[in-house]
Chains A and B, each alone.
Chain A
Amino acid sequence: MVRQKGRLWMVMLTIILLVFVSGCAALQQKQALTPEEERAAQKEKEKAAQQEQEKKGFEQSLAQKKYPGIEGTVWESTLLKDILFDFDRYDLTEEARKILTENSKVLSNHPSLKIQIEGHCDERGNSAYNLALGERRAASAKSYLIKLGVQENRLSTISYGKERPLDPSHTEEAWAKNRRCHFVILSR
């Protein structure tokens, strides 16, 4: 009886051992990577590093900004570029669409960002009409960013009309710079 029991134990141990060894073999088989898999893993690593780099770069692109006479502070990022408009227009130019696509990438890379789109106008024309035009410009940019997949609740708009020109001089060059949408970060 005792011997029989001992044999039974042996058999069971053998089985367990076999299962264990085969398991290890299976594991070993899994860890053995094909060259493609190796490349993918490498890419993954690079991507993580890139993301880290991106994040660093983004942090470095930020500058805190206080507007005179306006409560609170916002951040400006050199990666969020202004888009420009033609005189008395609010439709997006080819160039503006390209910039908005780039801006949308920044937003998708940093999903916690909430931004404000500022509509601005040049100094020519009626102040009230320009305030309405600035609304239009900001709304155009907002719609396009939503089309590019940015969530609406991350985007707010404001029109400054002709009240906050980037360049206060009275030249064609200044006016062209001032007909713009500017993007500021309200929260990160």
Chain B
Amino acid sequence: MRPIKKLALFFLLFMAAHLLLPDTGRGIIYIDINSPETRKFYLALPAIMALGQLPQGMKEEVEKTITQDLIMADLFYLPERAKLPPQSVYITEENADFKQWEDRGIEFLLSIGLKAEKDTISIEFRLFDCVQHIYIAGKRYKGSPGEVRVMAHRTIDEVIKQLTGERGVFQTKIAFVTDRTGNKEIALMDVDGQTVKMVTRNGSINIYPAWQPDGRSLLYTCFQRRNPDLYQVFLATGGSVLLSAVPGPNATAAWSPDGKGIALMMRGKDNTELYLLNPQGKDPVQLTRSWDSKTSPAWSPDGKQIAFVSDRSGSPQIYILDLASQKLRRLTYEGGYNCSPAWSPRGDRIAFARQEEKGFHIYTIRADGTDVRRITREGNNENPSWAPDGRHIAFSSRRGGNSAIYMTTSDGGGPWRVTTSESNETEPAWSPWLQ
């Protein structure tokens, strides 16, 4: 532990030296999110300053969005406003009084201004390092009043990028299954649960949403033609095409990271096997061949391996297929029921759901089968899906009543409830980076 701490300190000092140079900002890592020693930092978010007249409720909406994002980023302690220095103007590099913030233990200061000019709204921020007394970065975003939440998310994504070197996930989306229409349809929302849009509206059973790597379309399985067929829906137009309708399941599809193939479960002899289709849903190649049932393929980010579920041991367990060598290895040994593998975009860990006495819990395990960690504490939790940052995981959870989408970090931060409707929401699929 000690050497690591020393190393981290050295690292920070090294970075600090760099900060003293002019024109810094890019490439500086204040918060090393890859370090196992990461702690949360004290960030002050003074009240958002209205620079002029604003449409009613806009300031509150931006305030709420930004605060939620900062909480769900799980990188910061956000001290109460009452404990912060009183402040009446928009803080800029000219008027920033670092000392008074530093004295209250604040490490970073995020000043946000909001302005309306005719039909254009602009959000601008200034980010300061109160320990080094440095202005880190500032940006301004412009858009229509309807885009104000998008701009708020963009602000926080940029703040996170300035501090960690990796952008935040608040402009990505989560696809999920909802029964709010009385049947199961695929829907789409922002990662904070807002802007819910129905993706399918066919009144049938629509399940297993899966993203195309470029984020333009979703795969899903629908029973409309009295068979679980595979469809692709394009998000720009909302149009769906039938990709694969072989008798039996065309289900739990997963796009290969390079976009050149679709792994899925299809009918075997008396069982289900894994197959690989081309992007048009044709030319099935059988990947597995044995008596057991197989489901839920999940690609490694390098596209060389596929984690999946098989019941060959007598109960569902997770296995990994190496595509080049065709070799199989078993990943999970503990627990009588392990399912829903999801490979982290960083490649090192696999999230999954394990059934225990009182329901399912989300776990992560290293891809070599070591270091199993449970990351949910309560409820009945299923279907983990990684955010593209490899830090956040969405999952469905039933905590009395209906099932909702929740979010956590890979080390169990939060969790935060994302969907708030009274209907059942399941099977979250976190999008790749969009735009």
**Which residues on A are within 8 Å of B, measured CB to CB?**
67-72, 88, 116, 125-129, 131-133, 135-136, 139-140, 143, 156-160, 163-164
Contacts and interface: CB of A to CB of B under 8 A. Distances in A.
Interface string B283-315: 000000000011110000000000001010001
A68 B183 contact: yes
Nearest to A67: B226
Most B-side CB within 10 Å, residue of A70, A71, A129, A159: A129
Nearest to A74: B226
Nearest to A186: B226
Contact of A69 (B205, B311, B315, B337): B205
Contacts of A71: 224-226
Contacts of B247: 156
B89 to A, nearest CB: 54
A69 B203 contact: yes
Contacts of A163: 184, 205, 207, 223
Contact of A126 (B271, B272, B340): B340
The dominant DSSP class at the A interface is mixed
- Enumerate the 4 nearest inter-chain pairs by beta-carbon distance, A residue then B residue, closest first: A69-B204, A139-B270, A126-B339, A132-B293
Nearest to A124: B355
Interface of B: 183-184, 202-205, 207-208, 223-228, 247-249, 251-252, 265, 267, 270-272, 293-296, 309, 311, 315-316, 337, 339-340, 353, 355, 360, 382, 426-427
Contacts of B202: 69
A158 B316 CA distance: 21
A81 B372 CA distance: 46
B382 A140 contact: no
A128 B265 contact: yes
A117 B190 CA distance: 40
Contacts of A88: 315
A11 B234 CA distance: 99
Contacts of A131: 228, 249, 251-252, 265, 272, 295
Contact of A136 (B265, B270, B355, B426): B270
Contacts of B184: 163
Given A69-B183, A70-B226, A158-B227, A128 B251 contact: yes
A128 B183 contact: no
Given A126-B296, A128-B340, A135-B249, 5 more contacts: A68-B204, A69-B202, A132-B249, A140-B270, A158-B227
B337 A127 contact: no
Nearest to B309: A129
Contacts, number: 102
B228 A159 contact: yes
Contact of A132 (B295, B337, B426): B295
Given A127-B427, A132-B249, A158-B227, A143 B270 contact: yes
A126 B203 contact: no
A126 B184 CA distance: 16
A124 to B, nearest CB: 8
B379 to A, nearest CB: 15
A159 B271 CA distance: 11
Given A131-B249, A132-B265, A135-B249, A70 B224 contact: yes
A70 to B, nearest CB: 5
21 contacts: A69-B202, A69-B204, A69-B224, A70-B226, A72-B226, A126-B340, A127-B427, A128-B296, A128-B309, A128-B340, A129-B296, A131-B252, A132-B265, A135-B248, A135-B249, A136-B270, A139-B270, A140-B270, A156-B247, A159-B228, A164-B205
Nearest to A88: B315
Contacts of B228: 131, 158-159
Contacts of B427: 127
B94 to A, nearest CB: 57
Nearest to A133: B293
Contacts of A160: 205, 223
A68 B202 CA distance: 10
Contacts of A140: 270
Given A70-B226, A71-B225, A128 B267 contact: no
A164 B267 CA distance: 20
Contacts of B251: 128, 131
B271 A135 contact: yes
A141 B187 CA distance: 36
A178 to B, nearest CB: 15
B225 A125 contact: no
Given A69-B224, A132-B271, A158-B226, A126 B316 contact: yes
Contacts of A136: 270-271, 293
A62 B309 CA distance: 40
Nearest to A118: B226
Contacts of A72: 226
A89 B262 CA distance: 30
A154 to B, nearest CB: 15
Contacts of B353: 126
Nearest to B308: A128
Nearest to B352: A126
A129 B339 contact: yes
A44 to B, nearest CB: 41
